[in-house]
Amino acid sequence: MPFDDDLSTEERDTYKLFLSAITPRGDRICSAALYRFFVDYYDAANFFMFVIKLVGQADEGRMRAAKALSTISPEDAERYKKTLEKPNLVLNQLSRFSSHQSKNMVLSATNSFLCYYSEIIQAAINKRPELLKSSQTIRLDEVLAFKRYSDIVSYLVDKRINSLSYGGILQMEEYMRDRLGIETFKDDDQKHLLLIFIELRNILTHNRGVVNDLFLSRVKNHMGFKFRSGKQFHCDLDVFARLSKNCIDVACDIDKGVCEKFGIQRKRYATWSTAGANKKRPAPTT
């Protein structure tokens, strides 16, 4: 996508970071679960870019029409003067909904990541059901409801994954480390950035994006962001680009570690895509 001439170097770098994150790499190796995460993320990000492109075309069309019609007569020139004075009318209208757009992007990206995190843990347990061993018990009537051992295992896996999902990202990280033997994060910065992303999702969902004491108690390292209790935090494009790129990096690292250890199939992104997995998601199987 071409850049506007009036963009600053910093703004150009932000767009480049964002575009690099949303552009699928056909040679990227990923599991079925990670592929689904990519597709969900790319769809949401590209929809945002599609809207921006349409808005730009609408404003450009208005200006071209106004310029062409204003040359017909002096009266027409005066009539279209107001149009020429407002070259970004549609874009300005779109900016009124910037908070809503930002919210949609954050929720879509974080929900897709949490779904991926649950799926890759589930894929590992399916490969090694002994990971389910714990002191927890299951009622006899629950066991008798199934006829096959595989159905019981599948039920227990789903039950464990649901429990982990409701426990939050830190409980899932603990399970990944203690039971699967895989570290979720390469370093503390990765962890802090992902926690910020997830907690932004939580306050957007439950508190209209207003930072509260619960948020501040969970986000110990602000990583340079300015969070103030009682103030709404708006996730600008540069913030989203930084947080979402980190989110993708974390997912890719997890995928490599888990798949190599548990023998989970990985393919090139382009292979998943051409296999028809994109027609009806989720289609690929682990």
Stronger pLDDT, 10 or 211, i.e. the higher one: 211
pLDDT digits (tens, 9 = 90+) for 164-208: 777 789 999 999 999 999 999 999 999 999 999 999 999 999 999
C-alpha to C-alpha distance for 98 and 48, rounded to whole angstroms = 11
Maximum average pLDDT range among 19-23, 84-88, 230-234:
230-234
**Is residue 55 assigned to a domain?**
yes
**Is residue 285 assigned to a domain?**
no
Contact (CB, 8 A) for 126 and 73: no
Confidence at residue 181, expressed as pLDDT on a 0 to 100 scale: 95
> Which residue type sits at 279?
K
C-alpha to C-alpha distance for 107 and 92, rounded to whole angstroms = 24
Domain count, the chain: 1
17 band by pLDDT with thresholds 50, 70 and 90? low
Question: Tokens representing 246?
Answer: 């980190």
pLDDT at 61 over 70: yes
C-alpha to C-alpha distance for 32 and 35, rounded to whole angstroms = 5
Mean pLDDT score of the chain, rounded to an integer?
A: 82
pLDDT at 161 over 90: no
Q: Which of 12-21, 114-123, 127-136, 215-224 has the lowest mean pLDDT?
A: 12-21
Confidence at residue 42, expressed as pLDDT on a 0 to 100 scale: 86
Confidence at residue 187, expressed as pLDDT on a 0 to 100 scale: 96
Contact (CB, 8 A) for 255 and 266: yes
11 band by pLDDT with thresholds 50, 70 and 90? low
Average pLDDT over residues 59-65: 77
**Is residue 159 assigned to a domain?**
yes
Confidence at residue 46, expressed as pLDDT on a 0 to 100 scale: 83
Maximum average pLDDT range among 205-214, 237-246, 277-286:
205-214
Q: How far is CA 57 from CA 23, 51, 67, 110, in A?
A: 22, 10, 15, 30
Question: Tokens representing 165?
Answer: 């999902």
Residue 210: strand pairing partners = 232
Q: Which of 132-146, 156-170, 207-221 has the lowest mean pLDDT?
A: 132-146
pLDDT at 83 over 80: no
Confidence at residue 74, expressed as pLDDT on a 0 to 100 scale: 65
**Is residue 214 assigned to a domain?**
yes
Range of the domain at 38: 9-277
Average pLDDT over residues 86-97: 79
280 band by pLDDT with thresholds 50, 70 and 90? very low
Confidence at residue 156, expressed as pLDDT on a 0 to 100 scale: 72
Per the listing, tokens 């897709």 go with: 112
**Is residue 283 assigned to a domain?**
no
**The model's pTM:** 0.80
Q: Could you write out the DSSP letters of every residue in the chain?
A: -PPPTT--HHHHHHHHHHHHHHS--TT-EEEHHHHHHHHHHHHHHHHHHHHHHHHHHHHHHHHHHHHHHHTS-HHHHHHTHHHHH-TTHHHHHHHTTHHHHHHHHHHHHHHHHHHHHHHHHHHHHHH-GGGG-SS----HHHHHT-SSHHHHHHHHHHHHHHHHHHH-HHHHHHHHHHTS---S-SSHHHHHHHHHHHHHHHHHHHSTTB--HHHHHH----TT----TTSBPP--HHHHHHHHHHHHHHHHHHHHHHHHHHT--EEEHHHHIIIIITTSSS----
C-alpha to C-alpha distance for 189 and 202, rounded to whole angstroms = 20
Confidence at residue 285, expressed as pLDDT on a 0 to 100 scale: 39
